[in-house]
Amino acid sequence: MNKLIINNQSDLDDLDALRLIELVVSEGRISNNGKQYCYATIAKVGGIEYAVYTDLNKMSDKFTIVRCNGEN
């Protein structure tokens, strides 16, 4: 079983953050030769763009959520 670590560095509430993680996980492990979730995913929530970055650790997957800069 795998451990998921979520580092929400954005202004999103917990529920919206989980929905972004669900979006990434639902695509499967498509990076690093099928070993890792997508390195970087951009998605809009309420018209604002957010990025989800992933890191693969020995015993866990880490997801970091940040708000994208610039005009949206």
CA 61 to centroid of chain Cα atoms: 10
> pLDDT value at position 72?
43
Distance separating alpha carbons of residues 45 and 37, to the nearest angstrom: 20
Tell me the whole-structure pTM to 2 decimals: 0.91
Q: Which helix (H) or strand (E) holds 30?
A: none
What are the pLDDT digits (tens) for 5-41?
999 999 999 999 999 999 999 999 999 999 999 999 9
CA angle 66, 43, 7 (to 5 degrees): 30
> pLDDT value at position 1?
62
Residue 66 buriedness (CB in 10 A; 0-12 / 13-18 / 19+): middle
Residues 45-65, mean pLDDT to the nearest whole number:
97
